[in-house]
Chain A
Amino acid sequence: MERTDLVFNALADATRRELLTVLARTSPRTATQLVGDFTITRQGILKHLDVLAQAGLVEVQPKGRERRYSLSPRPLDGVNDWIEAINATWRERLTRLKDLVESDEPL
């Protein structure tokens, strides 16, 4: 998979999005610290963190026996570009809607 696909795949899961949100508030954190914020097991958290790391959305640093995870938001730039393009299409459509409703045409 290309990097953007890995990013989308990572974002497609609600738990992973929640993990990113938690890490955005407080980073770095260990898996053990993160477990308290979630209802899934530590092993489950580690699996999700691994998917996020492969997409480049979190960075992993070893710290003693545990690893510390930090948010790395740079890969989201590609996603932003993509959403921007969709917004552009919608803006064009809404501009045409505005022209229509502000015209004299009977609706």
Chain B
Amino acid sequence: MQEQGTLVAEQSMVMKANRKRVWQAITTAKHFSSWFGLRVEISRLEPGGEFKFLEFENNLPGKIVTVEPPELFEFEWTPEAGVPVYTLVTFRLEEVEGGTRVTMRESGFEKLPEQYRKSRFEGNSEGWSIQIHNLDKYLKEGRDIGEN
């Protein structure tokens, strides 16, 4: 499904709530807006449905890609109005003991134009885990070999 070596951000967290409840929180506009930090509007909850971010001067277009309750929700969004490049955001919900494991993955960053990468980077300098899927693994091996 995923192209090898694509640049991804990935975060996973266990939440003490059932999948249905988490599903509601990520697929209804009102709840999504409250935790995501930007107001969204959802035209209809199905593939091809609009998933629009309203906070900016120009609305940021987004499109729902996958709706498989209560397991998988995917949408595409663009970093800036007028930038014809999209990243794919995937939410996977798994039942685990005591709740739900929520795994978020945003992929396709290598396609973004320069000015967006810069603004996004300057806005956040805090560091967390690093994920460059597949490629990262091989590159680390390569780096180890290179340094020995």
Contacts and interface: CB of A to CB of B under 8 A. Distances in A.
A39 interface: no
B72 interface: no
Contacts of A96: 34-37
Interface residues on A, range: 35 or more
B25 A86 contact: no
A83 interface: yes
A44 B145 CA distance: 27
Nearest to A2: B114
B35 A21 contact: no
Label chain A's interface by main secondary structure: helix
Interface stretch (A7-15, A46-54, A61-69): A7-15
Interface residues on B, range: 35 or more
Given A12-B110, A24-B142, A93-B37, A85 B135 contact: no
B5 A87 contact: no
B107 to A, nearest CB: 11
A73 to B, nearest CB: 5
Interface of A: 4-5, 8, 11-12, 14, 17-18, 20-21, 23-25, 27, 70-73, 76, 79-102, 107
Interface of B: 3-11, 13, 15-17, 21-22, 24-26, 28, 31, 34-37, 100, 102, 104, 106, 109-112, 114, 117, 120-121, 123-132, 134-135, 138-139, 141-143, 145-146
